[in-house]
Structure 1
């Protein structure tokens, strides 16, 4: 009796093109083992229903020049939103992951979850209206707090009073009537960094250093969340020699309360320096203010002490530093000094320590890419194809 195995579906062929592994029908046939006629039939389906498009001819390898395939941008977009403590960044992305439009606006999380999310959705719709009224097909959001990967519930976020336990994706679905996806902001930034680098780096650690400090991990080319989604949450790692500042978790000396942007602002205020926000600290550092510069370097060293353990344990190819503190040379220098002092040479001799390549849109692009992966998942594509074919029949 012949053993029957499943053959790659149209959705799985689409994923090979989406991931850049295949650029032609010949590539798809070679990667899947399907006959040329079967590949042609499934590609024709994807072309006819607007998932793929032909982009010209490639170079000949001895025969007819292949017709190149690419994901079709389409007439829709997803809204990818990076929610910060005092601002929100909106990005509209097409199915290729291209940024069509972006905007950043001030925002206060103190207004409460529903009010904040309603105002954000209104702003997204305004942005879409300004760009030919493009239709939104899904909403993704990164959040400045731990997110339980099992149900999307916020887990005791430090700077989001009234948000604890809220399943933000459910609220977004209720407000927008669209598919929604949420992610912790450091994880989203790690994904954005991975995408920006063209997926050439499979082992990456991303540290988000701003008002708070977080960390995202790419392992084997995939985001590593851990059992509940809090892998990489270094904000509550206690430092043995840190000042006894009480953290929101009830312990003292946590990294977040001694090395974050908020901690630096508090320390400067106690020293009699008039600062309101982290932006004020960074401005002082640019003017070579000795106290501000010293605190930034010390914060970098303390952050580097925690990261050194991660570097020794995980042995990544890249450590990328993002967030507002990444713009401060003193902070970055402190991180480098601690890592090169505390890490094994084998962990650092080929390690790239660099400022984020993804820039300020990295978090939005990262969480947006995660939503696209859900919307364009092979089984989802196949279901949509069956529905569209049935409606035609």
Structure 2
């Protein structure tokens, strides 16, 4: 299964129906019609198609409000589950989800991406067989590199020899005989956080600021990928700096060189500190070390400046920050301060800038939503 293209309003309606039922915000056709602002006949047709495909089921009758008692709806958990994979450089996380998208169970698996796609995916498949069940409906995969939706694999990734152009989705689909949805880890983290916090509507940006920096953009509850699936790549935005710091992309003074955990560690080492990890740098800041705190605040200010341009242009409802740097209050405060100072007041009028709540589970939750949305699109 490839990454889904833009879909029509009918398909979006089905996705929103499932989301409202899963979140407990609507339990009957009447409540769904009211929540969606659609005709009861339109909602009835989509509900029936979801019942026919086994994604929804009727669970009894509700209380009457003067007429016929409404038939209550719920996610049909007995009709299957989906499995998810979040591939990292040295490990993979596996997730088991019900048809509501809720994460039921996780497991970890050591892998080495540098060994290439076939041995890595074979190891993952073996673990999934032990982890999964006979009720598998689909698989969602998070990859740590730019994903080409046409092939269901990565293009131009760093530190992934043998992976460019490899059809990851087709490989796993051939093994398990179910649809497989594939996307970039930043996109899926953004989708996972957004669906948990905001549902299937509204707009958000999720930025992962850890050792490196990545971000995903959600428009009206769905991933926005851009013309070449590179939307949200703020990592290599150049910033003003007196230093001339080379970046892995070949340019100098990219955002990642100063606003990431690796950038803060580099600057601390230049100042004579014996640190090697982002965690050590953040611990110094928590201990009120003046230099470390200043560098963490500076990193947040740089990120906030880049985000202010994005926020002014995009006007999202929320900016969610995840990754190790987001655990630092000075970092978060600096991001907020710069965004609010640099953006038009109308743009920030209702803007939320908050730490993400889904943590390491975000890519798994997003991968589950991606494949479940595709199963919804397949409904008649």
TM-score in terms of structure 1 length: 0.81
**TM superposition shift of 1:57:** 2.7
Q: Quick check: 1:54–1:67 contact (8 Å CA) kept in 2? A: yes
**TM superposition shift of 1:266:** 3.3
Residue 258 of structure 1 pairs with residue 262 of structure 2: no
Cα separation, partners in 2 of 1:20 and 1:110, compared to 1, 3 Å: same
> Structure 1, unaligned stretches of length 5 or more?
1-7, 383-393
Residue 120 of structure 1 pairs with residue 118 of structure 2: no
1:7-46 maps to which residues of 2 (within 5 A)? 17-20=17-20, 23-26=27-30, 31=38, 34=41, 43=48
Q: Quick check: 2:147–2:229 contact (8 Å CA) kept in 1? A: yes
1:331-350 maps to which residues of 2 (within 5 A)? 331-350=331-350
Cα separation, partners in 2 of 1:60 and 1:141, compared to 1, 3 Å: same
Cα separation, partners in 2 of 1:86 and 1:255, compared to 1, 3 Å: farther
Q: Quick check: 2:209–2:261 contact (8 Å CA) kept in 1? A: yes
- Report which stretch shifted further, 341-350 or 13-22: 13-22
Q: Quick check: 1:89–1:103 contact (8 Å CA) kept in 2? A: yes
Report the secondary structure of 1:216's partner residue.
strand
Cα separation, partners in 2 of 1:39 and 1:252, compared to 1, 3 Å: closer
**TM superposition shift of 1:12:** 9.4
Could you tell me which residue of structure 2 aligns to residue 171 of structure 1? Answer: 171
After superposition, the CA RMSD in angstroms is 3.2
Cα separation, partners in 2 of 1:212 and 1:351, compared to 1, 3 Å: same
Report the secondary structure of 2:347's partner residue.
helix
Give the aligned length: 365
Residue 93 of structure 1 pairs with residue 97 of structure 2: yes
Q: Deviations over 1:25-51 (max 9, x none)?
A: 556789456499x969x84x8657644
Q: Quick check: 2:15–2:200 contact (8 Å CA) kept in 1? A: no
State the distance in 2 between where 1:15 and 1:72 align. Answer: 15
Q: Quick check: 1:23–1:69 contact (8 Å CA) kept in 2? A: yes
Q: Quick check: 2:200–2:220 contact (8 Å CA) kept in 1? A: no
State the distance in 2 between where 1:304 and 1:219 align. Answer: 20
**TM superposition shift of 1:142:** 1.5
Q: Quick check: 1:264–1:296 contact (8 Å CA) kept in 2? A: yes
Could you tell me which residue of structure 2 aligns to residue 381 of structure 1? Answer: 379
Report the secondary structure of 1:241's partner residue.
coil
TM-score in terms of structure 2 length: 0.83
**TM superposition shift of 1:19:** 3.7
Q: Quick check: 1:79–1:139 contact (8 Å CA) kept in 2? A: yes
Could you tell me which residue of structure 2 aligns to residue 232 of structure 1? Answer: 232
Q: Quick check: 1:83–1:144 contact (8 Å CA) kept in 2? A: yes
**TM superposition shift of 1:310:** 0.4
State the distance in 2 between where 1:187 and 1:18 align. Answer: 21
Q: Quick check: 2:19–2:100 contact (8 Å CA) kept in 1? A: no
State the distance in 1 between where 2:153 and 2:184 align. Answer: 11
Could you tell me which residue of structure 1 aligns to residue 82 of structure 2? Answer: 78
- From 109, 113, 120, the counterpart of 1:109: 113
**TM superposition shift of 1:317:** 1.4
Residue 322 of structure 1 pairs with residue 322 of structure 2: yes
Could you tell me which residue of structure 2 aligns to residue 390 of structure 1? Answer: none
Cα separation, partners in 2 of 1:139 and 1:299, compared to 1, 3 Å: same
Residue 54 of structure 1 pairs with residue 52 of structure 2: no
Q: Quick check: 1:86–1:109 contact (8 Å CA) kept in 2? A: yes
Could you tell me which residue of structure 1 aligns to residue 306 of structure 2? Answer: 306
Cα separation, partners in 2 of 1:288 and 1:184, compared to 1, 3 Å: same
State the distance in 1 between where 2:12 and 2:224 align. Answer: 23
